[in-house]
A and B are shown apart, each in its own frame.
Chain A
Amino acid sequence: MANKMPREIAPGVFWIGDCLAQRHKGKVYHGYNAAFLVAGTSASVLVETGHPKDFPVIERHLAELFARGVPPLKYLFVTHQETPHCGGLGRILTRFPETILCGDVSDYHLAFPQFEHRMRWMKEGDAINLGGRSLMAVEPVIRDLRTTWWGFDTGERVLFPGDGFAYSHYHQDGHCGLVAEEAVSLDLPDVSAVFADLALFWTKFANMEAYCDRLDQLIERLGVKTIAPTHGLPITDVKATVPKVKEGLKAAALVPESGTNEKASSLAAAPAV
């Protein structure tokens, strides 16, 4: 049974969105294409738009939060241009006509030219002031498109790593809506490796030790307390959980890439790989 969303994973940081079922090697995995609302005292920012299929869910969750008194949505920050992260931006900018799109805004003027005047470029270290806290663009250690930024909430020290910390969870075990530490039956190294195999082709070819070391440095430098990945369950115990995810990334790097090579009948719920 899915747990109640929106879920406040840190004070003023709300997890919204829905799962995407995935089939891999005879097992069904669930992954997230999550969005997060970060509420300051004067404004809110939506981090990621959710998957295009999820807009009705995202819209309902946002309406619920604004009805509770969360400050208005003034900003949208998307980590990068893959549509599971940003595909809802046209609908968000239409639904919230005062909202400004921020980040590396490459390509969006080509996809949604009608909103070009509402796009603002951010460089590393640039921050959006929400009142009492800011959302800052930070180094995207694990990325695919070169135009990726990760987000960082300076108030509660929450990292929004986009494609970083991407792993599935077990729907049958009731993991939907849980944070990583609550999903006790989740084999984090295994599901991290599965996701890397399906969607992060390059991790099979790069020196993942170097990327994991850089990840540690970033987490240390920023003093990260919570990690809010787009595809994985949120991490609330960084010291205990991050090593398990890194173990999965390193293990996946050693296994030859397989991707989906299944026949159409078994592709029913497979992710795009």
Chain B
Amino acid sequence: MSVLTQPAPRNARETSGFTGGIAALATGKLYALQNPFALDGRVSSYPASERGYSVANSYLLTQSDAAMLIDTGFGKDEPVIRAQIESLIAPGLPLSLFPLRLNEFMSINNVETFAGHFNVETCYTSNVDAALWFDFGAKANGRSVLESMKVTAVTRADTIQLGTKGRAIDVMQAPIRLIATRWLYDRATRTLFSSDMFTHVWRARAEGPWIVTDANDATSPRDLRSFLLNTRYWWLEGAPTDSIRRGIADVFDKCDVETIAPGYGCILHGRKVVARHVEMLDEIFKGLDKSVAVSRYVDRDEER
């Protein structure tokens, strides 16, 4: 292990029974930084009527000479996430940022602060002019920090090389999305970072657990269908879903996925769990297709 990569901190737990904080998804390679929030009807990513807890996930990919942070979390968690990163990488280690949704606080809220605090060598986005999209006034000198931050534009189909050993991170346009969204695939850990998809598992308690394994995978097709239609995919019923199904199938055909790491909610871990949720999603899309369902106006507050 390099002197620049810290050993996993004592609070980085194995995935089994993980209850929040730092989860070592692949020790020395990939950590989930999970910070809970209450589902109290005030979270846009969840159905208004649901109650319980979820987590906002940021992911830290570490190499001996570089690291990458995927999504920066909510402003409320900034000091915690900053400390989590500090516990995992050495001071001064080059850090790149990759917010997967350029328009949502959960992805971009802390870019400004982290760019001023860490040795951020670049921020990957779909828009090379994006630096000032992150100017939320968190710091008095935030605008100048952002203006001097290097921004690297990525296309729908790129590969980023992390560190001098060239750890390959594949970039793709999300095959289903509401707003501007990228998915990433880390070949080294066989992890798909799915942003606002596969976000459908939350918990009754703030303690989690926040990783779904074969031992605790209780999601039903009905749960998943309701989640999609009662959140940002309210428009799917009666849509021509075949192209979306093909797009998702292509991703899983090309990428050997062992872990699905969503931007919020429980992480889906293990081949059996991944396969089950992908199949369940495909069946639901099939049942929502225009060949069997009718597209109609959907009221803002309608829950199905």
Q: A interface vs B, CB < 8 Å?
A: 51-53, 55, 80-84, 87-88, 90-91, 94, 105-107, 109-113, 124, 139-141, 143-148, 199, 201-202, 205-207, 210-211, 213-214, 256, 259-264, 267-273
Asked whether any CB of chain A lies closer than 8 Å to the CB of B135, the reply is yes
| Contact A55-B178, Cβ < 8 Å, known A83-B104, A110-B74, A270-B127 | no
Asked whether any CB of chain A lies closer than 8 Å to the CB of B155, the reply is yes
Asked whether any CB of chain A lies closer than 8 Å to the CB of B63, the reply is no
B109 and A91 contacting across the interface, CB-CB below 8 Å: no
| Minimum Cβ distance to chain B for residue A156 (Å) | 25
B43 and A106 contacting across the interface, CB-CB below 8 Å: yes
Describe B's contact surface by its main secondary structure.
loop
Give the docked Cα–Cα distance between A259 and B135 (Å).
25
Residues of chain B with a CB closer than 8 A to A205's CB: 235-236, 239-241, 244, 295
Instruction: Please pick, from A81, A112, A268, the residue contacting B129 in the complex, using a CB distance under 8 A.
Output: A268
Asked whether any CB of chain A lies closer than 8 Å to the CB of B130, the reply is yes
Residues of chain B with a CB closer than 8 A to A140's CB: 300
Give the docked Cα–Cα distance between A82 and B181 (Å).
13
B155 and A261 contacting across the interface, CB-CB below 8 Å: yes
- Tally chain B residues at the interface, Cβ within 8 Å: 57
Contact with A along B39-50 (1 / 0, CB 8 A): 001111000100
B239 and A94 contacting across the interface, CB-CB below 8 Å: no
B136 and A264 contacting across the interface, CB-CB below 8 Å: no
Residues of chain A with a CB closer than 8 A to B153's CB: 264, 267-268
Asked whether any CB of chain A lies closer than 8 Å to the CB of B138, the reply is yes
B295 and A272 contacting across the interface, CB-CB below 8 Å: no
Asked whether any CB of chain A lies closer than 8 Å to the CB of B156, the reply is yes
| Contact A113-B43, Cβ < 8 Å, known A87-B136, A90-B136, A272-B130 | no
Number of contacts between A and B (CB, 8 Å)?
A: 157
A148 and B178 contacting across the interface, CB-CB below 8 Å: no
| Contact A83-B180, Cβ < 8 Å, known A90-B137, A267-B153 | no
Residues of chain B with a CB closer than 8 A to A263's CB: 155
Instruction: Please pick, from A91, A112, A113, A267, the residue contacting B127 in the complex, using a CB distance under 8 A.
Output: A267
| Minimum Cβ distance to chain A for residue B241 (Å) | 8
Residues of chain B with a CB closer than 8 A to A110's CB: 37, 43, 56, 74-76, 105-106
B179 and A51 contacting across the interface, CB-CB below 8 Å: no
Contact with A along B128-145 (1 / 0, CB 8 A): 111011111110000000
Residues of chain B with a CB closer than 8 A to A141's CB: 297
With both beta carbons as reference points, the residue of chain A lying nearest to B298 in the complex is identified as A206
Give the docked Cα–Cα distance between A55 and B153 (Å).
24
B300 and A87 contacting across the interface, CB-CB below 8 Å: no
Residues of chain B with a CB closer than 8 A to A268's CB: 128-129, 153
Asked whether any CB of chain A lies closer than 8 Å to the CB of B85, the reply is no
B:61-106 near A, CB below 8 Å: 74-76, 102-106
